[in-house]
Structure 1
Amino acid sequence: MTAIQELTPTTHPAVWALLALGDDAPERLWVRGNADALTARQAVALTGCRASTAYGEHVGGELAADLAKTHTIVTGGAYGIDAQAAYATLNSSGTGVIVAAGGVNRVHPQGHRELAARIIETGGAIVSEVEPDEAPNRYRFARRQRLVAALSAGSVIVEAGWRSGSLSVATWARELGRPVGALPDPLTSVTSSGTHQLIRGGATLITSADDVRQMLV
């Protein structure tokens, strides 16, 4: 089993980005896999709803596959858009990072154990602010979103309804002064309301990986 590293934001460059969280920064971060994945290439968060549509999974996967050629892809490792982005990253030989709600020994959902193992095997990492064997809970799922935003140079929401937890990644990114992008979704889909709300609120409209790269300039 891959060794676990315990890093602090004040002493390790891989997690210096967390210092931007100020009082909300974790005291330490546990990392299973390659800690340098957090610093090797500029990271971008790609996330969205768990109850994703075929459309969202298709465009999210295409976006991740292209963007992974030049950037590390950060997700929360959930079902739906997160999983699609992670698998697309792997399939394009990119580097992925999963920010876990529980400890790095407690992959959640359990159906993503193989996904997590593949990310580690290909030079990526699983990271968490809680001890390795801690179980995830509702509070930790919510708190995880600030780490997804803080570890990334920018965040892109692929698909989200009004109450999607992925929208909090965008909220944290904006509080940190990081760019936020969102993909336009079908008007007839309930998963379009959150992303369209972000675009109306000033998020960059994303239609391709090049749009994301331009957003980060």
Structure 2
Amino acid sequence: MTDYTEDMLARMTLTALTDPGDPITGKLVQAIGLTETLALIRDADAAIPAQVNQFEGARWLQKAAARQKDTLVDDLVALAERGGLRLLTPGRAGWPADLTDLGPSAPLVLWAKGNPELLTSSLTSRVTITGARAATAYGVHLTHEFAEQLAQSPRILVSGGAYGIDAETHRAALAVRSGSTIAVLAGGVDRPYPVGNASLFQRITDGGGLLISEVPPGLAPSKDRFVARARLMAALSGATVVPEAGPRSGSLRVAVSAFDLGRRVGAVPGPITSAASSGCHLLLAEGFAEVITNAWDVEAMSDPSPEAYRLPPAYQQAARRAAPDVSRSAGRAAL
């Protein structure tokens, strides 16, 4: 059985009592500490600290207090042990330091299953690829091609485990002998969603990949948890790529979150008649994303010094053949 420190237990409890990504929680933890924030929830007569808005703080306190129960910690520990989950916390092995960029909205803990060392590599070694659930053949083809080439370069591919673009990203990474992939889930790691991808999630952990979530085990995904997950998918990678997405796709939230964090964002243009690509066009038109047409574009976007992560020779040669002959073009222009 895992030995949990007081800090770990406090983080587990506070995560279960509050919503993921809630900035009120983060502000209070930064201002008064973990233990004091928990004590605030347990004291019905506690005063809201001046560091947060009094109205928002009172609402946060009421919601958190309603979730309390005597067996909460024991239940969380039992679920984690039963599911073979590992608890990752700031400052300890396996914690991705780049999540501090999220400020007060940074997660307090991550529950993980698989290889947590994938989270401690350099930020530029990871690329997030996400997009439409109802992907077209065009989107699936491009995603597989990009993801496979990036996995061979090698990059660690981050996605959300959903149907469509996300699932294809994971599959392409797993198809590469040395490929690695991380699925960021919106529910508990012990009940991965969607259920139809259960075998894919098993392949990820069996193949040296990783499943992670800031949502405690035992909890199902919800709309708010999907929204909160977007910032994690954005923060975990040096670049985010959207191969295909509609105008209301949740992947656009990931892209905008990455942009707000100062990460590079790319989108693949699609047919102007395809609603499935209209979200990508929107990202490009609004200046949130750069145009991506091949895996080399992603490499250049991910790392200003691509020597460390070059595409395999065959793909480099293909890229050179596809590139225009600049000298000839310049010569024709001079005539």
TM over 0.5: yes
Using the TM superposition, give the Cα deviation of residue 2 of structure 1 relative to its aligned residue in structure 2, in angstroms. 7.1
Give the aligned partner of residue 92 of structure 1: 176
Structure (1 or 2) with the greater strand fraction: 1
Structure 2 CA distance for aligned equivalents of residues 20 and 133 of structure 1: 28
Is residue 24 of structure 1 aligned with residue 105 of structure 2? yes
Structure 2 CA distance for aligned equivalents of residues 192 and 4 of structure 1: 37
User: Deviation per CA, 1:136-169, whole angstroms, max 9, x where unpaired?
Assistant: 1111111111110111111001111111110000
The answer (yes or no) to whether the contact 1:35–1:125 under 8 Å persists in 2 is: yes
Give the aligned partner of residue 7 of structure 1: 88
Is residue 81 of structure 1 aligned with residue 162 of structure 2? no
Structure 2 CA distance for aligned equivalents of residues 9 and 176 of structure 1: 19
Is residue 45 of structure 1 aligned with residue 131 of structure 2? no
Structure (1 or 2) with the greater helix fraction: 2
Give the aligned partner of residue 257 of structure 2: 172
Pick one of 285, 289, 292 that aligns with 1:200: 285
User: Deviation per CA, 1:14-64, whole angstroms, max 9, x where unpaired?
Assistant: 321211100110111111000001234611000001111010000111110
Structure 2 CA distance for aligned equivalents of residues 133 and 63 of structure 1: 34
TM-score (norm 2): 0.63
Partner SS for 2:95: helix
Unaligned runs of 5+ in 2: 1-81, 305-335
**Aligned residues: CA RMSD:** 1.4
Greater relative contact order (Cα < 8 A, sep 6+) = 1
Partner SS for 1:14: coil
Specify the code of the residue in structure 1 equivalent to 2:269: P
Any runs of at least 4 consecutive aligned residues in structure 1 with deviations exceeding 4 A, and if so which?
Answer: none
Give the aligned partner of residue 73 of structure 2: none
Is residue 61 of structure 1 aligned with residue 144 of structure 2? yes
Partner SS for 2:141: helix
TM-score (norm 1): 0.96
Structure 2 CA distance for aligned equivalents of residues 11 and 173 of structure 1: 25
Most deviating of 10-19 and 156-165: 10-19
Larger radius of gyration: 2
Structure 1 CA distance for aligned equivalents of residues 294 and 156 of structure 2: 16
Structure 2 CA distance for aligned equivalents of residues 208 and 9 of structure 1: 36
Specify the code of the residue in structure 2 equivalent to 1:30: W
> CA distance change for structure 1 residues 23 and 140 in 2, over 3 Å: closer, same or farther?
same
Unaligned runs of 5+ in 1: none
Using the TM superposition, give the Cα deviation of residue 123 of structure 1 relative to its aligned residue in structure 2, in angstroms. 1.1
Using the TM superposition, give the Cα deviation of residue 13 of structure 1 relative to its aligned residue in structure 2, in angstroms. 5.1
The answer (yes or no) to whether the contact 2:94–2:116 under 8 Å persists in 1 is: no
Is residue 212 of structure 1 aligned with residue 298 of structure 2? yes
Of all paired residues, the percent bearing the same amino acid is 47
Pick one of 201, 216, 225 that aligns with 1:140: 225
Partner SS for 1:68: helix
Using the TM superposition, give the Cα deviation of residue 201 of structure 1 relative to its aligned residue in structure 2, in angstroms. 2.6
Structure 1 CA distance for aligned equivalents of residues 95 and 283 of structure 2: 29
The answer (yes or no) to whether the contact 1:2–1:33 under 8 Å persists in 2 is: no
Structure 2 CA distance for aligned equivalents of residues 140 and 204 of structure 1: 28
Most deviating of 25-34 and 192-201: 192-201
Structure 1 CA distance for aligned equivalents of residues 269 and 297 of structure 2: 13
The answer (yes or no) to whether the contact 1:3–1:33 under 8 Å persists in 2 is: no
Structure 2 CA distance for aligned equivalents of residues 130 and 199 of structure 1: 32
